[in-house]
């Protein structure tokens, strides 16, 4: 049995291999000149930490090296780690649960990012915690999307509200909120479509779903989570901007971190968007969605790296 930290390390293996190897290669016996810092910038940008974020970060690293009178390039390594930690530390935080009645979590994002599977993973985890879970199939764009959610619901042993393909997503949501209250569930998760006729339609559609929830239940939705695909890099950041404008997101689920060597995207998202990353997806298994814990994240990424040892071979 692999523990949570083991799963986290495994999920970050690609990023770790690339980012940490590059950093280790860089800091070996170098002079701390402009060229060194330019290469440091390149490495961090390559890991998808975002150009603006990296520029700012490297300025701070330079300054700190100056203040601490650091002469050996190896001593830069822990400072890099510290800076990343600083940015991520402002992040995280759990879900906002309703004080009474059902907690409503709306899940949005473009097509294929991992919305439905992330909902399935959360449903599985909530169920395990003893919560009563209901899912709403408000992605009515394709019949397959409804079937997929239903299959996951069966798998996780939770209930689902669905209509036919092509039905009004707001109507599905309305029924689901009513059912959540009357069945006294702890948490309702609303799956939404990521593709509509165009982006404007998509935004209007999710806006409508939010309004229905808001109207039917005070203080709801309690969470509006945007799912982003970590493998899409900076694209994810711009998706977040448009969804946030429309919906006032409460958090981000960063899926598919296991599929990329550019896990630094989490730094970019944290710094540039000011929306907390609440969960990270580390694989396709039901246990492969974890609460984002900035300290553990950085620890998993840098573990043993600063001593230059190879982790687990
Ligand atoms: P949706 O269109 O946003 O609902 O996306 P889906 O939930 O259908 O997911 C699209 C694909 O991404 C599926 O094949 C998932 O198994 C895969 N996926 C989702 N999350 C993760 C993750 O954290 N890691 C990996 N490796 N694959 C994931
Ligand atoms: Mg889906």
Structure confidence by residue, pLDDT tens digits, 168-197: 999 999 999 999 999 999 999 999 999 866
The C-alpha atoms of residue 165 and residue 173 are separated, in whole angstroms, by 14
- Who's near 81: CB < 8 A, 6+ residues apart? 298, 302, 306
Secondary structure class of 282 (helix, strand, coil): coil
> Which of 117, 263, 277 to probe ligand 1 with, by most ligand atoms within 8 A of CB?
117
Torsion over CA: 88, 94, 95, 97 (sign): negative
Predicted pLDDT of residue 310: 43
Question: How far does Cα 182 stand from its chain's mean position?
Answer: 31
Q: Kindly state if the Cβ of 81 falls inside 6 Å of ligand 1.
A: no
CA dist 283 → 139, 257, 259 (Å): 23, 8, 8
The C-alpha atoms of residue 239 and residue 197 are separated, in whole angstroms, by 17
- Who's near 282: CB < 8 A, 6+ residues apart? 7, 8, 10, 11, 12, 257, 258, 288, 289, 290
Q: Which of 122-126, 139-143, 264-268 has the highest mean pLDDT?
A: 122-126
The proportion of the chain whose per-residue pLDDT surpasses 90, expressed as a percent, equals 83
Residue 304 has pLDDT above 90, yes or no: no
Q: Kindly state if the Cβ of 258 falls inside 6 Å of ligand 1.
A: yes
Atom 12 of ligand 1: nearest residue by CA position: 114
Predicted pLDDT of residue 213: 98
Residue 230 per-residue DSSP state: G
- Who's near 229: CB < 8 A, 6+ residues apart? 112, 113, 114, 236, 255, 256
Global confidence as pTM: 0.94
The C-alpha atoms of residue 203 and residue 135 are separated, in whole angstroms, by 21
Q: Kindly state if the Cβ of 221 falls inside 6 Å of ligand 1.
A: no
pLDDT range class, residue 92, cuts 50, 70, 90: low
> Which of 109, 114, 266 to probe ligand 1 with, by most ligand atoms within 8 A of CB?
114
Which residue did the predictor score with more confidence, 313 or 113? Answer: 113
């Amino acid at each position: 049995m692999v523990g949570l930290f083991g799963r986290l390390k495994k999920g970050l293996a690609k990023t770790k291999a690339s980012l940490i190897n590059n950093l280790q290669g860089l800091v070996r016996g170098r002079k701390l000149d402009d060229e060194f810092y330019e290469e440091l910038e390149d490495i961090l940008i390559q890991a998808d930490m975002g150009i603006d974020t990296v520029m700012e970060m490297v300025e701070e690293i330079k300054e700190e090296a100056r203040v601490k009178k650091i002469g050996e390039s190896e001593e830069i390594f822990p400072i890099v780690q510290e800076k990343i930690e600083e940015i991520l530390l402002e992040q995280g935080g759990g879900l906002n649960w309703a004080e009474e009645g059902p907690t409503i979590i709306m899940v949005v994002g473009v097509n294929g990012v991992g919305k439905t599977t992330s909902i399935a993973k959360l449903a599985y985890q909530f169920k395990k915690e003893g919560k009563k879970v209901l899912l709403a199939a408000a992605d009515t764009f394709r019949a397959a999307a409804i079937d997929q959610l239903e299959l996951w619901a069966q798998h996780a042993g939770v209930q689902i509200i669905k209509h036919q393909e092509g039905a009004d997503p707001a109507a599905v949501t309305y029924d689901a909120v009513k059912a959540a209250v009357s069945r006294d569930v702890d948490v309702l998760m609303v799956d939404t479509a990521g593709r509509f006729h165009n982006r404007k339609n998509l935004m209007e559609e999710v806006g409508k779903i939010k309004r229905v929830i808001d109207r039917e239940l005070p203080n709801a939705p309690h969470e509006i989570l945007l799912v982003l695909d970590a493998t899409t890099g900076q694209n994810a950041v711009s998706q977040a901007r448009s969804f946030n404008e429309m919906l006032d997101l409460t958090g981000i689920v960063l899926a598919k971190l296991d599929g990329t060597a550019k896990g630094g995207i989490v730094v970019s998202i944290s710094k540039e968007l000011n929306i907390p990353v609440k969960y990270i997806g580390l694989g396709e298994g039901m246990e492969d969605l974890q609460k984002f814990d900035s300290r553990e994240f950085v620890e998993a990424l840098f573990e043993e790296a600063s001593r230059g040892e190879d982790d687990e071979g």
